[in-house]
Amino acid sequence: MTQPLKAKLVSMLDVVYPELDCDFLAEQLLITMGLEPNQEPPPAHQNNWDESDVVLITYADTVQRADEKPLQTLHRFLGDCLSDTVSSVHILPFFPYSSDDGFSVMDYLAVNESHGGWEDIEAIARDYKLMADLVINHMSARSRWFENFRKRVDPGKDYFFEGNPRDDLSAVVRPRTSPLLNPVQTDDGERYVWCTFSEDQVDLNFANPKVLIEFVSIIRRYLERGIIIFRLDAVAFLWKEPGTPCIHLQQTHELIKILRLLIEHHSPDAVVITETNVPNRENLTYFGNANEAHVIYNFSLPPLLINTLVTGDCKHLKTWLMSMPPAQMGTTYLNFIASHDGVGMRPTDGLLTEEEKQRLINTMDSFGGKVSYRRTPDGRDQPYEINIALYDALQGTAESGRDHWQLQRFVCAHTVMLALEGIPAFYIHSLLATENDLERVEHTGRLRSINRSQWQLDDLEKKLADPLSHHSKAFQELKRLIAIRRKQPAFHPNATQFTLHLGLQLFGFWRQSMRRDQSVFCIHNISNEVQQVALGDINLIGTDHWQDLISGMTIDDLSGSITLKPYQSVWLSNLEVTV
């Protein structure tokens, strides 16, 4: 009898481990995941999402309350304020860690005691689709595995990637300026470990299939705890070969396919997301042929959209949008404009000129932002990301500096994101319009802390209850827009999208529902001046009745025009699907 699952698995493993008995390895992986060799696959090109899906990104301890574990406080805040707004919650690494605010994991199978316990994670997973990080590229230098590496005992003795200072590492692509190889004293002498990100984050060695088996076991445990969405952190760096760039290698792509194959056979509604903060063309490769990531982060969107709104010129954003391929069924984009990290600059390669990048950096610097750097193969330091809170990133323009349009510009950015092809994701500090936290940067010494504030729940509730606070104004308006979006078939993540040509100050695109019964023309004034939109330029069908879903305005004269105030948006729809 044929065993299609096992046969597929063996064919992928053969690419990664050509010297091994991959038939035996496949059996080990299937047993680890609790799968049968002939288990039926999920339906091909299945969309595990729709227009109602909205993601919240947060740390476990972003919202705190005295005498309560932060995960319980987070669950309380979600229930009180966001239960009708978000469908999915991405809790950033909630494991015991030694650095990088969670991304230097010490134990993949434990919840940080200061955050709560597995019962708190499971409680949130019962109410929301829960996304968790699989920090798969590296592990803490203070983990038990690494201690075993030092002692030369299992498990861990050969779990970490070792390098040789004499190797040619000149082609290696780095996201940091820190040393790539770090000397470590072990019980059998000095060894050099590979550290893509920091000395405390030691890269794992997937050339050892035991590491793959360990991670499959971890994934199964997460699924059993209710985690249904897996964010593969820094996965592009997974496979290393000295003499190559050590990024996007074929073995990395095959390993993602292997993990997806196992995950979707275990849980057909599960989703794999790849986090690859790289230039746009490289990022798109992680869809594979609809057999790698279900979802990829739309990393070019944040810098391009911010650049558009501070320059008042949508040329580059429009050019990029026109070049983006529609995602196949069963795959889609994750749209975001802020996250726990900074605004990546590598995704602007080939999209902005060096002069335009520098102008954006200078503008963000004038608004309180900081810049992190990476080291290029030729030894130069180049800007890697801008560290800034989104609300402050949009407080003015490149030409004139700070102005009084900050809130409107901020809302406009999210209105664009909400309407684009893909699933919208809101970083909690964007939803709350949190400003730059320079005090936290001073305290931690880390630039990324500027956008990793922590709120006391009582203080946050007071801000959100005050109708005059910008936090309340932004929060209520974003919730209103999200509620409208979640009811529109034309905003399904895989619904048709075409770019409109309305000049440089009006950014527009057309969405059409998969049943072709709803069209929404999304038009955004991305400038600080009033703009006129000739309705004849957007081809509204004359036999339909048209309404702006945002304002409720109806269109009676299709030969006329509409006036958009600075940073105003309209969603012109032929179906009156409002809240």
* HSE-up of residue 439 (Cα within 13 Å, Cβ side): 3
Residue 543's pLDDT is what?
85
Token pair of 497 as six digits: 């999208």
Average pLDDT value for the chain: 96
CB 522 within 8 A of CB 318: no
Give 576's pLDDT tier (boundaries 50, 70, 90).
low
Q: What is the mean pLDDT of residues 546-572?
A: 95
Confirm whether residue 76 is marked as ligand binding. Answer: no
Say which amino acid occupies 311.
Answer: T
% of residues, the chain, pLDDT over 90:
94
In a domain, 541, yes or no: yes
pLDDT at 542 over 90: no
The answer for residues whose C-beta is within 8 angstroms of residue 412's C-beta and 6 or more apart is 309, 524, 525, 526, 567, 568, 569
Instruction: Calculate the alpha carbon distances from 386 to 159, 354, 414, 444, 535 in Å.
Output: 33, 15, 19, 17, 38
556 is catalytic: no
Question: Is 259 one of the annotated binding-site residues?
Answer: no
* From 233, 392, 437, 548, active-site residue: 233
Q: What percent of the chain stands above pLDDT 70?
A: 99
CA–CA separation, 431 and 451 (whole Å): 13
The response to whether 232 counts as a known ligand-binding position is yes
Range of the domain at 503: 496-573
100 is in an annotated binding site: yes
The arithmetic mean of pLDDT across residues 124-140, rounded, is 98
Domain membership of residue 536 (yes or no) is yes
The pLDDT, as a whole number, for residue 577 is 59
The predicted-structure confidence for 164-212, as pLDDT tens digits, reads as follows: 999 999 999 999 999 999 999 999 999 999 999 999 999 999 999 999 9
Closest CA to 405 of 549, 262, 309, 277: 309
**pLDDT average, residue stretch 128-156:** 98
Q: Residue 557's domain is classified under what CATH number?
A: 2.60.40.1180
504 in a structural domain:
yes
Confidence of residue 3 (pLDDT cuts 50, 70, 90): confident
Q: Was 107 annotated as part of a binding site?
A: no
Query: Is there a binding annotation on residue 144?
Result: no
| Torsion sign over Cα 379, 385, 386, 389 | negative
pLDDT for 579 beyond 90: no
Range of lowest pLDDT (72-81, 99-108, 318-327, 373-382) = 373-382
Q: Is 281 annotated as a binding residue?
A: no
Q: Are 100 and 196 in contact (CB under 8 A)?
A: no
Is the per-residue pLDDT at 304 higher than 70?
Answer: yes
- pLDDT at residue 197, as a whole number: 96
CA torsion, points 349, 350, 352, 358, in degrees to nearest 10?
40
Q: What whole-number distance in Å separates Cα of residue 11 and Cα of residue 80? A: 49
What's the number of CA atoms in the CB half-sphere (13 Å) around residue 348?
27
Give the pLDDT score at 178.
93
For residue 550, the number of C-alpha atoms closer than 13 Å in the C-beta half-sphere is 23
**pLDDT confidence of 377, banded at 50, 70, 90?**
confident
In the predicted structure, residue 376 carries a pLDDT above the cut 90: no
pLDDT above 60 (res 547): yes
* pLDDT tens column, 280-302: 999 999 999 999 999 999 999 99
Q: Which helix (H) or strand (E) holds 163?
A: strand 162-163
Residue 108 in any domain: the answer is: no
526 in a structural domain: yes
Q: What is the pTM of this model?
A: 0.96
**pLDDT surpassing 70 at residue 554:** yes
Backbone angles phi, psi at 221, to 5 degrees: -65, -40
Tokens coding 435: 């400003």
Query: What confidence score (pLDDT) does residue 1 get?
Result: 42
In 490-528, which positions are buried (b, 16+ CB within 10 angstroms) versus exposed (e)?
bbbbbbebebbebbebbbbbbbbbbeeebbbbbbbbbbb
* Residue whose structure tokens are 């309404």: 547
Distance CA 387, CA 372 (A): 7
- Please check if 21 is assigned to a binding site: no
In DSSP terms, 383 is beta-bridged to 373
Q: Where are the alpha helices (DSSP H) in 172-242?
A: 209-224
Is position 508 within any domain?
yes
Residues 237-266 have a mean pLDDT of: 97
pLDDT in tens, 408-439: 999 999 999 999 999 999 999 999 999 999 99
Q: Is residue 447 part of a domain?
A: no
pLDDT tens-digit profile of 71-120? 999 999 999 999 999 999 999 999 999 999 999 999 999 999 999 999 99
pLDDT digits (tens, 9 = 90+) for 451-476: 999 999 999 999 999 999 999 999 99
Give 365's DSSP letter. H
Per-residue pLDDT, 69:
98
Name residue 578's amino acid: T
pLDDT 10s digits, 18-47: 999 999 999 999 999 999 999 989 999 999
State the Cα–Cα distance between residues 34 and 229, nearest whole angstrom: 19
Considering the domain boundaries, does residue 503 fall inside one? yes
Q: What is the pLDDT of residue 349?
A: 94
CB 295 within 8 A of CB 273: yes
Position 578 pLDDT exceeds 90: no
**Domain count along the chain:** 1
State the Cα–Cα distance between residues 82 and 75, nearest whole angstrom: 10
> What is the token pair recorded at 459?
């203080």
Per-residue model confidence (pLDDT) at position 378: 82
For residue range 478-522, what is the model confidence (pLDDT) as tens digits?
999 999 999 999 999 999 999 999 999 999 999 999 999 999 999
- Pairing mode of beta strands 295-297, 332-335: parallel
Alpha carbon separation from 163 to 180, 237, 385, 464 (Å, rounded): 9, 15, 27, 52
